[in-house]
């Protein structure tokens, strides 16, 4: 099983910032209520980050189950074959229920751009393999490995991103889990909808 990377803390911080932004309109509430809401939001950060990591782990596990599926240009189902973007779209649909764009180039415009050194499992990695940018896509597994459907005559396989070929053709990476609204834990909405608790020192109303 993949171990959760230290960079998961950055994701938790992002969720925390999103939560505090969402509850900013409540700034005029009583001090005790503000403290209660802040404590609740902070307590939710760990759960949100854990949920995002679990989703990423499920994505990689689901993708690995497709090892050996034959490549088929335009293929979108394991029983008949998959191409690179068909593999990614199928895995995300099965695990998250989110339908991604069909082509690798369209997928390259979704989510948040990520540097090579910041890759986490579940991120999408893109390559120029057909003489135009973002013509190939795979799912990063961790430990410099990614899974993809390479080309005709091959099967879904795991490759190493530090291989000289893939390094030369690397176009970039995108993060979707915890970034796309459809893939973010319901942290902000729950925090904003929660009622404020009255300060413990407040006198009861008649």
- Catalytic center residues: 84, 136, 148
Residue 139: exposure state from Cβ atoms within 10 A (0-12, 13-18, ≥19): buried
Phi, psi of 112 (to 5 degrees): -115, 135
| Sign for the pseudo-dihedral over CA of 166, 170, 92, 122 | positive
Compute the distance between CA of residue 183 and CA of residue 21 in angstroms, rounded to an integer. Answer: 19
């Amino acid at each position: 099983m993949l171990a959760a990377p230290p960079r998961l803390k950055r994701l938790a911080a992002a969720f925390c910032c999103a939560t505090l932004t969402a509850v900013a309109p409540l700034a005029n509430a009583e001090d005790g209520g503000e403290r209660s809401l802040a404590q609740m939001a902070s307590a939710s950060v760990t759960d949100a980050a854990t949920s995002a990591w679990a989703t990423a782990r499920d994505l990689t596990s689901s993708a690995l189950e497709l090892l050996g599926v034959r490549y088929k240009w335009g293929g979108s189902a394991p029983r008949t074959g998959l191409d690179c973007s068909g593999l990614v779209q199928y895995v995300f649909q099965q695990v998250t229920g989110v339908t991604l764009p069909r082509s690798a180039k369209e997928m390259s415009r979704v989510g948040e751009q990520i540097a090579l050194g910041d890759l986490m499992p579940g991120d999408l990695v893109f390559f120029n393999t057909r003489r135009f940018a973002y013509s190939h896509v795979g799912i990063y597994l961790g430990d410099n490995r990614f899974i993809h459907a390479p080309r005709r005559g091959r099967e879904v396989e795991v490759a190493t991103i530090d291989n000289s070929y893939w390094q030369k053709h690397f176009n970039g990476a995108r993060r979707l889990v915890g970034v796309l609204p459809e893939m973010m834990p319901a942290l902000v909405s729950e925090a904003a909808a929660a009622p404020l608790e009255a300060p413990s020192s407040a006198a009861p109303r008649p």
